[in-house]
Amino acid sequence: MEDDFYATIKLKSGEEIFAKVAASEEEGRTMLVVHNPITVDIIKGKGGYAGFKLEPWLKTTTEDLFVINLDDVLTLSESFDMEIIMMHQTFVRKTDNSNNNSKSKKLDRSMGYISTVNDAKLILEKIFKIEKEKDS
């Protein structure tokens, strides 16, 4: 396996991801092992300010390593941009911390109201009826 490097990868599907990448040659095929791939969107705010929105590439998994066949890659560009590399590292660190914290938290009253769906539905219906009667 080659040394890891940061890169922007454009897949043939049209997706663009940024990740720490390692190339691996197996059985005559080149595979990319990507670590914590993210998507980057530019967000424009009022006054012409712009920022970045980072999101995990795959949102329904907790895995952080993925293998991509090089045949599925349109282009790959190694990145030396310290700003995006630092953003990626911060995102990974925060994601790792939130995953560790969420597993250890237990539900309690300080987090909000705890009820069944049916109980919550009845309470909301009562509130709505009271508000509707006030308006009449």
Q: What is the pLDDT along the chain (136 residues), one digit of tens a residue?
A: 458 999 999 999 999 999 999 998 888 888 999 999 999 998 888 888 888 889 999 999 888 999 999 999 999 999 999 999 999 999 998 887 766 655 556 666 676 666 778 888 888 888 877 666 766 6
- One-letter amino acid at 108 equals D
Give the residue among 69, 73, 15 at the shortest CA–CA distance from 39: 15
Amino acid at position 14, single letter: G
The DSSP call for residue 58 is S
* Residue 127: both structure tokens together: 């509130």
d(Cα 122, Cα 101) in Å, to the nearest integer? 33
Q: Does pTM surpass 0.75?
A: no
Going by DSSP bridges, is the β-strand pair 73-78/65-69 parallel, antiparallel, or unpaired?
unpaired
Handedness of CA 4, 10, 77, 82 (dihedral sign): negative
Ranges of H-type helices in 38-116: 82-104
- In CATH terms, is domain 5-102 a member of 2.30.30.100? yes
Output the six-digit token pair for 56: 């995990």
**Of all helices (H) and strands (E), which one includes residue 78?**
strand 73-78
Question: Which pLDDT value is given to residue 1?
Answer: 46
Q: What is the CA radius of gyration of the chain?
A: 23
